[in-house]
Amino acid sequence: MNRYSRHIILSEIGQEGQNKISNAKVLVIGAGGLGCPVLQYLTAAGVGTIGVIDFDVVELSNLQRQVLFGTSSLGKNKAIAAQERLQDLNCDISIIAYPEPLTYQNAITLFREYDIIVDGSDNFETRYLVNDACIITNKPLVFGAIYKFAGQVSVFNYKNGPSYRCLFPNPPQKEAVPNCSEIGVLGVLPGIIGSMQANEVLKIILGIGNLLSGKLLCYNAMTSQTSTLKINRNETSIQSVLDEQDSFENKRLIIDCQIEVMEVSISEMISEKNVQFIDVREIHEQPKVNRLKVTYIPLSELETSLHKIDLSKKKALFCKSGMRSKNAVKVLQELNINNCFSIPQGASEINNYLKEHNKILSNER
């Protein structure tokens, strides 16, 4: 127990408290900016079982804030890369990697295996999914969010406390709030907020201190000021989730069936003629795809830039990881613009494919 001696000599923790930490099971949603510091500090603290779920891969732009990773991690799945690094940080605990998306189909089963859920996601759809699954499985949720220079932390669904829906009953309009890949974020901010989340997790495990249950802590990195907002439990919002419990696992399937998005590989699109390639990332995002003639239409500007779309051609949309391009295809289909396809590989993999196959496609397609 020499590893945890600085914990054990604290009268508020002691050997009994460290044993609680060692017996705890915590699931972290996302190994990104918030997930990295959460995972590092919980691993160092000796949390006995830590799960991490993330389907994304490590990219160069992540290293500005996701300090768990290095250049040797580039191209690896984040959950697996995190597992490798964390196991080296503490070989005495169990790190379980789930290199897959969190969905309505797997959330309930997964959450039941853990004591505490930590939300490190960066989109509203996942936040509401995590919140609702925590309500159904009765698991405490440690929430964190970041935006440019501002961050938020709270604890939801703890001992009949309020949930995320008590604060924000309904999701904002799709793409109304950009994520950090679109708007930017100060590199140290997720480290600060993620560390606060890890602190709340340890307080829950140990049963000490005053938790942020019923409170939203807001931090401003520009001024170093914090403020705390009170959150009241809304029985109607929580009951609405419980009332739909039986249909929870079918929810994603229902949504997906409403608008079917066709995904195609880059190899399929390259072999086609009369194709318009559309990059729906923000203009500043790298890497650029220089071996193709590309039309740049950020997802946030899509509906106001329809004049840039060639209706006579097939439309092949891509982004960083296939998520925004899939959403963009849905938007276009809702506007009755057809022959739209999402390339799930993303810009980096498209470049790799073109380089490996020595392809430079002319501007005339």
Q: What angle do CA 14, 15, 20 make, to 5 degrees?
A: 100
Evaluate the omega torsion of the peptide bond into residue 172 and state whether it is cis, within 30 degrees of 0.
no
Task: State the residue for tokens 């604060």.
Answer: 167
pLDDT in tens, 257-267: 445 678 898 88
Q: What pLDDT is recorded for position 253?
A: 44
Burial of 365 (0-12, 13-18, 19+ CB in 10 A): middle
Among the listed ranges 16-25, 56-65, 111-120, 145-154, which one has the minimum average pLDDT value?
56-65
Q: What pLDDT is recorded for position 190?
A: 96
pLDDT in tens, 57-113: 899 989 999 999 999 999 889 999 999 999 999 999 999 999 888 888 899 999 999
The answer, yes or no, to whether residue 254 has pLDDT greater than 50, is: no
Q: What pLDDT is recorded for position 26?
A: 98
Beta bridge partner(s), residue 95: 50
